[in-house]
Amino acid sequence: MRIHLTSLFVDDQAKALQFYTEVLGFVKKTDVPVGEDRWLTVVSAEDPDGVELVLEPSGHPAVKPYRDALIDDGIPMTAFEVADVQAEYERLSALGVKFTQQPIEMDSISTAVFDDSCGNLIQIIHSA
Amino acid sequence: MADELFKALADSTRRTILDELAERSGQTLFELCTRLSVKHQLRMSRQAVSQHLAVLEQAGLVESRREGRYKYHDLNVGPLQSITERWISPEETEHKS
């Protein structure tokens, strides 16, 4: 068994697709209309056959209280691996991305946390 | 206020929280938890860290502020001033120098 899909609730699928592809650099994999919404996934450009990230509509009533409580405590539920946390922090900040945790280096791990502007906090991580 | 201040400082975990906030003020609960577990190998629940923060806030050593949807915790060293003022008079420090 292996992980195939993982989902993020996004406020606006079109805006999320733009952020995840144009700002973060992921690649669109699937985009199929489903009722009023889309079955929309992106993958890493470095691993196009790897885990797909589903950009899921956030309309379900459970989503708002769940995300509000997480964001209140600054908790990211998703982490992306990067080669250089500091460099990504600088690149994304220059593109207007808001960080709730600036890079910290602890032993062999570096992390930072940013707001994906679609309702989620995301951690970037590098472990040497 | 003085009792609350000394009680807050009497716990090593709370002093570690203050150390981390002194290194960088304005941290989310998540960042503090990350620092405590990764840097200090302190195995605690978020609720436990939250409770320590509440004690520090009660003593005035930590202040929390909202910025949009986020909540950040800042260090406030103001109350520590009262400790030095209580026992170390200005004349005494002058004598020593």
Residue A107 is nearest to which of B38, B46, B71, comparing CB atoms? B38
Is A68 at the interface with chain B, CB within 8 A? yes
Question: Residue ranges of the alpha helices (H) in chain A?
Answer: 13-18, 63-72, 85-94
Domain ranges for chain A = 5-127
Q: How confident is the model at residue B95 (pLDDT cuts 50, 70, 90)?
A: low
Nearest to A95 by CA among A4, A10, A33, A20: A20
State the fold for domain A5-127: 2,3-Dihydroxybiphenyl 1,2-Dioxygenase; domain 1 (3.10.180)
Residues of chain A contacting residue B27, judged by C-beta atoms under 8 Å apart: 74, 101
What number is the ipTM of this complex? 0.88
Q: How confident is the model at residue A128 (pLDDT cuts 50, 70, 90)?
A: confident
Structure tokens at A20: 């995840």
Crossing angle, helix B2-9 and helix B78-87, to 10 degrees? 100
pTM attached to this predicted model: 0.90
Q: How confident is the model at residue B96 (pLDDT cuts 50, 70, 90)?
A: low
Residues of chain A contacting residue B46, judged by C-beta atoms under 8 Å apart: 73
Tens-digit pLDDT profile for residues A60-112: 999 999 999 999 999 999 999 999 999 999 999 999 999 999 999 988 999 99
Judge: domain B1-87, CATH 1.10.10.10: yes
Residue B39 is nearest to which of A75, A106, A113, comparing CB atoms? A106
Residue A111 is nearest to which of B29, B34, B46, comparing CB atoms? B34
Q: A124: distance to nearest CA of chain B, Å?
A: 13
Q: Which pLDDT value is given to residue B87?
A: 83
Tens-digit pLDDT profile for residues B32-88: 999 999 999 998 999 999 999 999 999 999 999 999 999 999 999 999 988 888 888
Q: Does the pLDDT of residue B2 top 90, yes or no?
A: no
Residue A89 phi/psi, 5° resolution?
-60, -45
Using the beta-carbon criterion (under 8 Å), do A104 and B29 form an inter-chain contact?
A: no
* Residue ranges of A 87-126 with Cβ closer than 8 A to chain B: 100-102, 104, 106-107, 109, 111, 113, 121
Tens-digit pLDDT profile for residues A36-72: 999 999 999 999 999 999 999 999 999 999 999 999 9
Structure tokens at A18: 């733009």
Nearest to B38 by CA among A110, A11, A95: A110
